[in-house]
Each structure stands twice: as C-alpha cells, then as structure tokens.
Amino acid sequence: MEALNLLSKLLISFLLSTFALNLLHFSTASSEIFLKMDAVRRCSGAKYDCLLFDMDDTLYPMSSGINLACRKNIMQYMLQHLHMDESEVPRMCLELYKEYGTTMAGLKALGYEFDDDEFHAYVHGRLPYDALKPDPVLRNLLLSMPQRKIIFTDKAHVSQVLSRLGLEDCFEGIICFETLNPPQEPVGCIDVPVDNSVLSGDAPEPESYSIGLTEGGSFNSKSRILCKPSVEAIEAAIQIANIDPKKTIFFDDSVRNIASGKAAGLHTVIVGSSILVPGADHALSSIHNIKEALPEIWEGEGEQIGQVIQSSAVATVALA
C-alpha cells in the first residue's frame, strides 16, 4: 500500500511539473508575440516609415554601361522603326529626354505612334545585363532597414536588374511605367520574381487622363505619358503606394527627379554625387554609404524590429 501511495505521489508531482513547464512555455511564447507586435507599433512611430528607390544608376553605378547601351538602343529604334533622319536622331533624343523626362514620352507627345511593349522589348531586351553582379553588401543593408522599401522607376526591366543584383526579395513592390500609364486592360507592370509585387493603385485608363488629382483621387494625363521627373508622376506614386511624403526618403541619381521629389514633399537623397544638388537633403557618392550618411534610418530600431518588418516584406500583396 505504501508503495502504491508513493507511486501516486510521484505521478502527481510529474503531472504538476509538466503543467508548470507548459505554462512557462506558453507564457514565454505569448511574451515573444507581444514583444514583436510592440516592436511593429514602435516602428510606426519612427522618423521614416518608407524608402522610395530609383533603380537604374542608383542601385548600381553608372559605370556598368547599362545607361549608355539603353540610349544607343533608343536611337536605333528611332532610326529603324520610326524612320527618322539619322543626322537628327542624337539631337532629338537628347532634347526630348530633357523636355519630357524620357525620350519615349517625348516621341509620344510629338505624335509618333508605336507599341509601348515593342519599344520596351527593343530598348531593354538587348542590354548588357551581364555587367551587373550580385551585391551582397547592398542586399544586407536593405534587409536590415525596418521601413517599407519600394522601387520607383520609369524602366521596364526591373525584373532583370533586381535578379542580377540579387535584390529581388528586398522590396515590397514596384511602381513603374505601366503603373502610372496603365493599358486598356489592367495588367502587371512586369513579371517580377515571386517575392515582389507591382503597386497598381487606382490609376485610370489612358483616355481619361488629365493632369492633376481628380475628384475620385486618381492621377491622369491626357496629352502625355506620366513619368519622372514630373511632379505629377511623383505625387501619383505617393498616392499609389499610400505613403506619407513627410516620412518617406526618396533616393535617385537624377538632379531633376530630386528637385521634383522635394517639390512633392519627400525627403531626398541624390545618389552618385558627393555634392548636394538643388532639392537634395543628403548626397551619397554610392548607395553603399547609406548607413554612414543616414544612420537615422536605423535609430531606435533594434535587431528584433528589423527581423519583424523584414519577414513581413516576404509575403507581398499587390495594392489595388
């Protein structure tokens, strides 16, 4: 009988200890969940909550030759497909770029008719992407940033570039040409690798475009393509991404884009220059210098916060 009583006591003691361990585990897990949720809440009170990045000559240097090759392809397209005078092409290409933001936008404004997809395929389909190599330093920097990170570019080769740089899963979404200038039937900007999405917003159909903000809250353009460096394009991107310009940093290599970004209310960083330009709050000779120049991006954000925000950026959802 005594042996039975002893066995019962041991069994009860074992059950109580097991229950205590489970209770401790549950309490710890709940505490961890609470801390993560609290970290996200504290992140929302940070100085910046979104980082808006241009891509070409910003995430990689101009010395890659991509920009020059792109310009040559545009001139070849003007010669072969639009049958323009060879002696006039270089001058017109530059003038249209300066006046309209992109040569394509200028050609459209002058009345040249051509298929947008055909133009993009010709111009971007033959670029020397082999010049772009994986950039683990930039990748680690981007993944350590707790803010939302969005690509804002006029170019239609985002997928190729991000893949070559090894950055395809570092951004929440992409605002590009098709986002601001949607076709008749809404489609994705480009076929972005799995962990990215296009931020489509509520952009209207091309025929209803009129510069400015309509009563319905959509940005339109009747006579021209909407693209950087127009302030309207940047304001449209701000609306589509649903960001607060006062808490957003805009990175770009173009002096004109920086000036327009500042006019739209964004904090601005000129990349590829060590000298401040009109409208720029900061200057980076290289995107790799971002942590030294802008430590406030990480200020007050512990490692745990970065991990929480980073993990939430993996499963992206297209905004519509």
Domain CATH number, residue 299 = 3.40.50.1000
Cβ–Cβ under 8 Å, residues 135 and 165: yes
Reported residue count of the chain is: 320
Say whether pTM exceeds 0.75: no
Tally of structural domains, the chain: 2
- Regarding whether 169 and 297 lie in a shared domain, the answer is yes
Structure token pair of residue 278: 């009109």
Cβ–Cβ under 8 Å, residues 286 and 304: no
In a domain, 32, yes or no: no
- Regarding whether 57 and 70 lie in a shared domain, the answer is no
Last residue of a domain, one of 107, 124, 141: 124
Q: What is the rounded CA–CA span in Å between residue 39 and residue 71?
A: 46
- Regarding whether 73 and 194 lie in a shared domain, the answer is no
- Regarding whether 222 and 107 lie in a shared domain, the answer is no
Q: What is the pLDDT of residue 136?
A: 98
In a domain, 36, yes or no: no
Q: Which residues, 6+ apart, have CB-to-CB distance to 317 below 8 Å?
A: 197
**Which domain range does residue 160 map to?**
48-61+133-312
- Regarding whether 96 and 56 lie in a shared domain, the answer is no
In a domain, 137, yes or no: yes
- Regarding whether 182 and 111 lie in a shared domain, the answer is no
In a domain, 146, yes or no: yes
- Regarding whether 118 and 54 lie in a shared domain, the answer is no
In a domain, 158, yes or no: yes
In a domain, 18, yes or no: no
Closest CA to 55 of 171, 136, 180: 171
Report residue 43: phi and psi, to 5°.
Answer: -65, -35
- Regarding whether 246 and 217 lie in a shared domain, the answer is yes
In a domain, 262, yes or no: yes
Each of the 320 residues of the chain gets a pLDDT tens digit; together they read: 555 455 455 544 554 454 444 433 433 333 333 333 333 434 456 799 999 999 999 999 999 999 999 999 999 999 999 999 999 999 999 999 989 889 999 999 999 999 988 999 999 998 999 999 999 999 999 999 999 999 999 877 899 999 999 999 999 999 998 899 887 554 444 333 334 455 644 443 333 232 333 333 333 334 468 999 999 999 999 999 999 999 999 999 999 999 999 999 999 999 999 999 999 999 999 999 999 999 999 986 544 333 333 333 333 323 32
In a domain, 13, yes or no: no
**CATH number where 74 lies:** 1.10.150.450
Going through 14-138 in order, the beta strands assigned E by DSSP cover: 50-53
